[in-house]
Every structure is written in structure tokens, then in C-alpha cells.
């Protein structure tokens, strides 16, 4: 199951990088254009950075052989599957499929990295 742990860590860190890039885009876009709702953009950026940090440390937990990041990874990807469903339902089929497939793969990898006992992964 070490392979599942490594795959889960890689996928979770890709998700963290993606969230950080979205935050950077929102910051850059806010600087270069006129804002109508600055407080909403700030809240989104803070949420994205917190999510990226959480997923990054979840990936670190997988690589360290711990399972403290497993719950966060499962929860984040269950939420992402719900978002993918609503994207598809809202007409953004390609983006919804991409998000759904990636979230599903990460969820499966996280679930495959089953703890063996006393806080350590196999």
C-alpha cells in the first residue's frame, strides 16, 4: 500500500497547487481590474489558501506514513465530487468531468492507503 500512499500524496499536492494557483489568479486579477466586492474576493483568497495549506499538509502526512491527512483528503474530494456534479448539471460538462475524475482518483487513492495501526500507514 506504499504505492497508494505515494499516489495519494501526489494527487493531493496537485490539488493544493491548483488551489494556490487559483488564489494567485484572483489576487492578480484583483490588482489589475476594478473590484466591486473586495471583501468577497478576500474571503475567497483566504479560503483557497487555507484549503491549499490543508491539502499540502495532508499530502505530507501520506508521505510520512501517517494518516492524519486521510480524513481531510476524503472530505475535500467528496466535496469536489459534489461540485463536479453541479458543474455538469449547470452546463459546464467538460470542467465537471475533469474535476470529477481527478477527485474520484484522489479519493480512491486516499481510501486505498488504509492505516495498519498506531497511526502508521502500511
Distance between CA atoms of residues 109 and 4, nearest Å: 5
- pLDDT of residue 117 exceeding 80, the answer is no
53-89 pLDDT, tens digit per residue, is 999 999 998 888 887 888 899 999 999 999 999 999 9
Tell which residue, 118, 2, 8, has the closest CA to residue 73.
Answer: 8
18-45 pLDDT, tens digit per residue, is 999 999 999 999 999 888 888 999 999 9
Distance between CA atoms of residues 121 and 100, nearest Å: 26
- pLDDT of residue 122 exceeding 70, the answer is no
Domain boundaries, the chain: 2-112
Supply the pLDDT for residue 21.
93
Burial class (CB in 10 A: 0-12, 13-18, 19+), 43: exposed
- Torsion sign over Cα 80, 82, 86, 92: positive
- pLDDT of residue 107 exceeding 80, the answer is yes
- pLDDT of residue 121 exceeding 60, the answer is no
Task: Please give the residue that has the higher pLDDT: either 118 or 101.
Answer: 101
**DSSP3 helix / strand / coil % (the chain, rounded to 5):** 80, 0, 20
Supply the pLDDT for residue 83.
93
Binning pLDDT at 50, 70 and 90, where does residue 47 land? very high
Task: Please give the residue that has the higher pLDDT: either 48 or 113.
Answer: 48
Which letter, b or e, does each residue of 81-108 get, where b requires 16 or more Cβ atoms within 10 Å of its Cβ?
beebeebbeeeeeeebeebbebbeebbe
DSSP state of 122: -
Q: Give the number of other CB atoms < 10 A from CB of residue 120.
A: 11
Amino acid at each position: 500500500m506504499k504505492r497508494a500512499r505515494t499516489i495519494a500524496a501526489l494527487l493531493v499536492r496537485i490539488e493544493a497547487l491548483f488551489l494556490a494557483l487559483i488564489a494567485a489568479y484572483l489576487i492578480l486579477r484583483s490588482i489589475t481590474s476594478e473590484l466591486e466586492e473586495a471583501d468577497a474576493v478576500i474571503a475567497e483568497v483566504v479560503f483557497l489558501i487555507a484549503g491549499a495549506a490543508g491539502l499540502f499538509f495532508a499530502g505530507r502526512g501520506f508521505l510520512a506514513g501517517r494518516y492524519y491527512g486521510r480524513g481531510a483528503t476524503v472530505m475535500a474530494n467528496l466535496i469536489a465530487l459534489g461540485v463536479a456534479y453541479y458543474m455538469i448539471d449547470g452546463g459546464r460538462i467538460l470542467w465537471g468531468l475533469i474535476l470529477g475524475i481527478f477527485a474520484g482518483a484522489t479519493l480512491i487513492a486516499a481510501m486505498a492507503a488504509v492505516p495498519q495501526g498506531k497511526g502508521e500507514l502500511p
